Chain A
Amino acid sequence: MNKTYLLSQIFQLIKKEFLLELRNKFALGSILLFGVSTVFIAFKAFNQFSVMTWNVMFWVLFLFISTNAILKSFTQEKGSQALYLYTLLNPYYVIIAKMIYNLFFLSLVGIMIYILFIYFSINPVVHLGLFILDIVLVAYGLSVIFSFVSAIAAMENNSSVLMAVLGMPLVLPVLLSGIKISTIALGITVDSELNTDLLLLFAINLMLTGAVIILFPILWKS
């Protein structure tokens, strides 16, 4: 199997995900509505954000909105469609495509929440580049973990509960590293070991990616 075939197959799968997303306007709209309403509730509840609460609320909302956004990643392909994909495709391509698509999607969700936060309250970000990089890195970690967990959860009936239970403890290291970096981006703390933190977050993500790619074919068989 040559390289161009591999890349084109992954690309086709990502394209399929995008098309599904765009076609199913209800799903995209529900995420947007969920985001706007939660940010609005947070804003009304606090009235005035301090920089620290801004930081905390941002990541908490990001976590919950991305849980909901990824949950459908495997549940929307059920029954005959999953069987069709199973006979047609190599599971490695499926999970790689899912992860890349989810990375894009979650990064967009993160930036959307950021824009909503600026709109409703303040923009305390000092180092914008670092903050965006942080969002992308955390989105990468969340997409890897939630892709794996949603593949497990999709097999069960009460998948949203199972996904929350399995996923929350797993995302904690990623999220905590991300929050630590974002406090620097917001100018709350000054840290000389920023590069170590970024590298650590990236290394955790990379390790989990490897684990998911190896383990996914086992889950895919069912």
Chain B
Amino acid sequence: MSIKNNWWKILSVLLMLYVLTVGMLTPMKSGIYGVDSISLKASENTVVRVEGYNSNYDKATDLRAWLKFDSTHIIKAKRISVIDYKMADIAFDLNVTLPGTSEVLPATLIIDNEMDGYSIFPEGLVVTRNKMEGLKPLVSSSLNDLHQAKGFKFPYMNILHETIRNTFFHVAIWMAMFLLMTIGLIYSIMYLVKPTLKYDHVAYSYTAISLVYGVIGLATGAVWARFSWGAYWTNDVRLNMAAVAVLIYFAYFILRGSIEDQDKRNRFAAAFNIFAYLAMIPLLLIIPRLADSLHPGVGGNPAFSGEDLDNTLRMVFYPAIISLILLGVWIASLRTRIFQLEEKHIDKINKASFLVE
């Protein structure tokens, strides 16, 4: 075994170790975990108790807070009383003319200090308008010189919290699965064009490992759904279509197992693999996009692409994909070699089993 030919195996393991350590140990940026009550009544002294996450309210010197209605209506807090490192009471003077005419207004809470950087509670609060006469005009303050969080940290997102780390496993494993499945498909087509036993073995190996990836993808997704949606499995169209796709691929293995004649089995399996791949495309890529779904990337929900994927996440996410693909290729090549060895020593194996009997 030479390093020259097997460097990618070492790379895959190193990358996976990197993903596990950096992905799991990097701290989160400071954020706002929750407030005592999301509905505020506008008055001269509206107080909201904030619970921070990974925050240093007690140690920070320059602690500021704003309530933002839209880009031209921003109210600065008049008083902040810190209780401990993660608890603070923030008081606003809301006896002012609020924008618009509706009874209740959504508002975004922003907290900033020099130690944690700024953190946002997006549209998390609802302010009920004060209908009293003689309100002061609103003096909007600007959100300038906000602090940036220091060091290498993952972004904090409400609802997701720490589970944002699952991006490296759940999203990456589905992407790797698609690629491995496509390699399996290509070998199935090659088998039908030129029936060589090796092509069938390779197609089988890649399809098998991508099915394992699919099951892991469902499992990691279930864990994520438990923490962000509240249940391991929901009626969501994306989830159910993914499960059906995995079932179709299970049928591929049942088909292989149920046909005795080797030549016929390989041919049917290759044909079914192509058919299953074509049936999977609408399941995973088209139908979920047209239906309503909670899943990111579907029905107008933000996904981990473009601007939603923070640069710090990207530094772990891309290595995770590469590592999972390389690991998959490695496992598939091992499975293929087992086939080849079985092929080579088939006589010996038969003889041995005869002797045992």
Q: Cβ of B274 and Cβ of A211 under 8 Å apart?
A: yes
Q: Cβ of A173 and Cβ of B271 under 8 Å apart?
A: no
A residues in contact with B276, CB < 8 Å: 170
A residues in contact with B233, CB < 8 Å: none
B140 CB to nearest chain A CB (Å): 40
A residues in contact with B286, CB < 8 Å: 200
Binary per-residue interface labels of chain B (248-274) against chain A in the complex, 1 for a CB within 8 Å, 0 otherwise: 101100110011000010011011101
The verdict on A173 contacting B244 (CB below 8 Å), with A156-B259, A211-B278 known, is yes
Nearest chain-A residue to B278 (Cβ)?
A211
Task: Give the residue of B254, B255, B272, B287 whose beta carbon is less than 8 angstroms from that of A173.
Answer: B287
Complex CA–CA separation, A221 to B264 (angstroms): 9
Task: Give the residue of A155, A165, A207, A212 whose beta carbon is less than 8 angstroms from that of B254.
Answer: A165
Q: Cβ of B278 and Cβ of A152 under 8 Å apart?
A: no
Complex CA–CA separation, A152 to B276 (angstroms): 14
B residues in contact with A158, CB < 8 Å: 258
The verdict on A170 contacting B248 (CB below 8 Å), with A208-B278, A218-B271 known, is yes
Q: Cβ of B279 and Cβ of A166 under 8 Å apart?
A: no
Q: Cβ of A169 and Cβ of B271 under 8 Å apart?
A: no
Q: Cβ of A162 and Cβ of B255 under 8 Å apart?
A: yes
Q: Cβ of A165 and Cβ of B279 under 8 Å apart?
A: no
For residue A190, CB closer than 8 A to chain B, the reply is no
Complex CA–CA separation, A177 to B274 (angstroms): 22
For residue A4, CB closer than 8 A to chain B, the reply is no
> Could you tell me which B residues sit within 8 Å of A by CB distance?
192, 241, 244, 247-248, 250-251, 254-255, 258-259, 264, 267-268, 270-272, 274-276, 278-279, 281-283, 286-287, 290
> Could you tell me which A residues sit within 8 Å of B by CB distance?
148, 152, 155-156, 158, 162, 165-166, 168-170, 172-173, 176-177, 193, 196-197, 200, 203-204, 207-208, 211-212, 215, 218-219, 221-222
